[in-house]
Amino acid sequence: MEMNGFTLNFNIYVGVMIRLFKVKEKQRELAENANGGAPTKKQSPGELRLHKDISELNLPKSCAITFPNGKDNLMNFEVSIRPDEGYYFGGTFLFSFQVSPVYPHEAPKVKCKTKVYHPNIDLEGNVCLNILREDWKPVLNINTIIYGLYHLFTEPNYEDPLNHEAAVVLRDNPKMFESNVRRAMSGGYVGQTFFPRCV
């Protein structure tokens, strides 16, 4: 295989530049370590986007965000929602968020940690919210998800259920549904299922 002078010189140039970049990176790491600081972990694009989303949060007063693992672990956090209207008025519901390093190209994994009688949340805490599944788009953000969760409590949807029994009761007998929600939130049984107090 014959190489002309340009191809050979270009390949040598690329090789030298790659080595220079590696040397510069190593020098930067050594300088950081010499200054007594731990080597800084490079943030993933998902972490950078999540940091932006969190800094721009505009939550309703009935919602709050906490970081139980500290400020160094932004990718796992909790959101509490305390609806100020509707069937779930006065209850407090806790959700865990696990955010992937490829966020926003993948929706966060959201689970309800509070056992709740709800047509769109099953007894294992799985949440049926379209923007967490098929309608997720990278332009959506954490604020959008929290508002979506809040909306589930002010307008539960019996047409897209995870808890089919609760959905049927909501559709066929809204007064009984309201009674079941109040009983569950007060710490009691609905059918054979016990719900811990959340008011």
Q: Which residues have a catalytic role annotated?
A: 128
Residue with tokens 């007594």: 36
Q: From 59, 99, 98, 65, select the one nearest 79 (Cα to Cα).
A: 65
Alpha helices, DSSP H only, in the chain? 5-34, 45-55, 142-154, 164-172, 174-185
Distant-in-sequence, close-in-space partners of 20: CB < 8 Å, separation ≥ 6: none
- H helix count then E strand count, the chain: 5, 6
Distance CA 54, CA 99 (A): 12
